[in-house]
Amino acid sequence: EYDQVEEGTITSTPSENTVHRSFSIGPNQVSTLRKLLPNTLGQCSRFEVLAACIWRCRTIALKPHPDEEVRLLCMVNVRSKLSPPLPSGYYGNAVVFPAAITTARKLSQNPLGYAVKLVKQAKERVSGEYVKSVADLMVMKGRPHYPMAGSCVVTDVTRAGFEEVDFGWGKAVYGGLAKAGLGAKLPAASPSVNLVAIKGGIAISICLPAPAMDIFAKELEFHSKSLFISSGL
């Protein structure tokens, strides 16, 4: 996942035509997506289903070259993977970003279950030895960043509890980033996609070029049988 790749169709170059949009999804929509999966994937998590769906829809929307490599990276907490464990009182980050990797053609032409399986396999690779190898890589290569081009990074903050923080302004209706992306000047296709808890479900926050955003919305609607609702968040 840290191997640098040449920038292809899915570019990380800043664009003035980037659109930010959020989509709301509830338990019924997640159930609808699960019905698209084979019985062998019956035990997959909500995150695995949504991440795979987002990755597939985003890739179709961006229309990369069929043979271009595309990646889905997700954040995995490794505190339970370490032996010996982290010292008591350590409150820093303890996460890694395993990658699911395939080509745009395979991801787009195969059913949703193909993407879900890749996401599950990527998460299952995270072991104590994997974490140690990532730590060694960080030391040897000076904390390399994952490649931006061709990557989709789905971050789940639905259990972070941001919406429960009391600022004295009343009960929160949203707890997460105001915008998906990496800064004030967004890439043409920001790799960052955020899952945020909202009342009654989850908000999917994403940035894409305007034409790609329209296709992304239609793909989400297709996958969920017209049950996705565009949010004003």
Domain with residue 187: its CATH number is 3.30.559.10
Residue 222 covered by a domain = yes
> pTM value?
0.82
Residue 7 covered by a domain = no
Cα–Cα distance, 134 to 117 (Å, whole number) = 23
Q: 15-42 as b/e, with b when 16 or more CB fall inside 10 Å?
A: beebbbbbbbbeeebbebbeebbeeebe
Phi-psi region of 113 (alpha: psi -120 to 50; beta: other; left: phi over 0): alpha
pLDDT profile of the chain (233 residues), mean per 10? 60 66 89 91 92 96 94 90 88 89 96 96 93 89 77 84 79 65 47 77 89 94 62 41
pLDDT at 138: 87
Q: Could you give the number of structural domains in the chain?
A: 1
* Cα dihedral 86, 94, 80, 139 in deg (nearest 10): -70
pLDDT at 104: 96
Please give the residue range of the domain that contains residue 120: 18-161+180-231
List phi, psi (to 5°) of 70: -125, 145
pLDDT at 68: 94
Cα–Cα distance, 12 to 182 (Å, whole number) = 11
pLDDT at 124: 93
pLDDT at 51: 95
Cα–Cα distance, 49 to 202 (Å, whole number) = 13
pLDDT at 48: 95
Cα–Cα distance, 148 to 168 (Å, whole number) = 38
Residue 81 covered by a domain = yes
Residue 5 covered by a domain = no
Token readout for 159 is: 């259990």
Residue 30 covered by a domain = yes
Residue 42 covered by a domain = yes
Q: What angle do CA 219, 225, 231 make, to 5 degrees?
A: 65
Residue 141 covered by a domain = yes
Residue 89 covered by a domain = yes
**How far is CA 145 from each of CA 80, 141, 151, 178, rounded to the nearest angstrom?**
24, 10, 12, 23
Helix (H, G, I), strand (E, B) or coil at 126: coil
pLDDT at 114: 97
DSSP string, 180-191: SSSSSS-BTT-S
DSSP lists the bridge partners of residue 223 as none
pLDDT at 183: 46
For 62, which DSSP code? H
pLDDT at 115: 97
